[in-house]
Amino acid sequence: MPATEAVCFDLDDTLCVPDVDDAELHAAAFDRVDADPFFTWDDVNAVDPHSLPTAGTLEGFFENLFRRVAADVGGDPAHAPALAEATAAVLDDADPAFREGAQEALRYARDRYEVALVTQGPEDRQSEKLEALGIADAFDATVFCASEPDLAPKPDPAPFRRALADLDAAAAETVHVGDSLRGDVAGAHGAGLHSAWVPTGPVPEAPDPEPTYLLDSPGDLPEVL
């Protein structure tokens, strides 16, 4: 690929993760909807997230996920919307923490390239995370999909093209780093960017689409730039 001139980052599960473990998240979500748990977090982890329909919001992702889990375990999918909203609320209340290797990757990119943030979440929610992490001023451009009604969410190429325009960068010389195969990798490729996929779960034998780079950790990013 041509020399890199810009790097785009996703936020959730790429640069940061919520400081709450799965068991706490599971219990707190059911507490908020006042329902008895009818699945375990192991049931959740058994679902391949790449098989779910694309969702433009965190709540939408969890609703799709919980509907699938309910079908798998014989539960009532009618609980999925409320559980999704509760899960997103628990995550919102949790303090963000850098994903392992992410702080170093961001620092490396900032020292050498133009850097953008391309995130699905709304500006108010995501800005709080950036402030808590101490990186509110780390980006040369920011794109908050949920805060712009006329901007389609990832994997639509529009958010990536917005970032390129704000950076005045060429797509062929830009790498997008993200954890979502369908949202980040597919969206980046649709806009002509290269991709560095940093999955948090199981990796299929033949990822579709195939990322430009498959990294075990965001901390491996310097090796491919």
The candidate with the shortest Cα–Cα distance to 6, out of 170, 211, 183, 213, is: 170
Q: What is the pLDDT of residue 201?
A: 83
108: buried, middle or exposed (CB in 10 Å: 19+, 13-18, 0-12)?
Answer: middle
Contact 176, 160 (CB under 8 A): yes
Q: Do the bridges between strand 6-9 and strand 96-98 make them parallel or antiparallel, or are there none, so unpaired?
A: unpaired
DSSP annotation of 198 reads -
The per-residue pLDDT for range 142-193, each reduced to its tens digit, is 999 989 889 999 999 999 999 999 999 999 999 999 999 999 999 999 999 9
In total, the chain counts a number of residues equal to 225
Structure token digits, residue 103: 């702080």
**pLDDT exceeds 70 at position 1:** no
Contact 11, 121 (CB under 8 A): yes
Mean pLDDT over all residues of the chain? 94
The per-residue pLDDT for range 75-98, each reduced to its tens digit, is 999 999 999 999 989 988 899 999
CA–CA gap between residue 157 and residue 169 (Å, rounded): 15
**pLDDT exceeds 90 at position 56:** no
Supply the pTM of this predicted model.
0.87
Report, as an integer, the average pLDDT of 191-197: 99
Contact 157, 143 (CB under 8 A): no
At 57, the pLDDT band (50, 70, 90 cuts) reads confident
188: buried, middle or exposed (CB in 10 Å: 19+, 13-18, 0-12)?
Answer: buried
Backbone angles phi, psi at 162, to 5 degrees: -65, -45
Report, as an integer, the average pLDDT of 88-113: 95
Contact 96, 16 (CB under 8 A): yes
CA–CA gap between residue 103 and residue 57 (Å, rounded): 25
**pLDDT exceeds 90 at position 99:** yes
**pLDDT exceeds 70 at position 225:** yes
Structure token digits, residue 2: 């041509």
Question: What b/e readout covers 150-162, taking b as 16+ CB neighbours within 10 angstroms?
Answer: eeebbbbbbbbbb
Contact 14, 177 (CB under 8 A): yes
Q: Write out the H or E segment, with its range, that includes residue 197.
A: strand 194-197
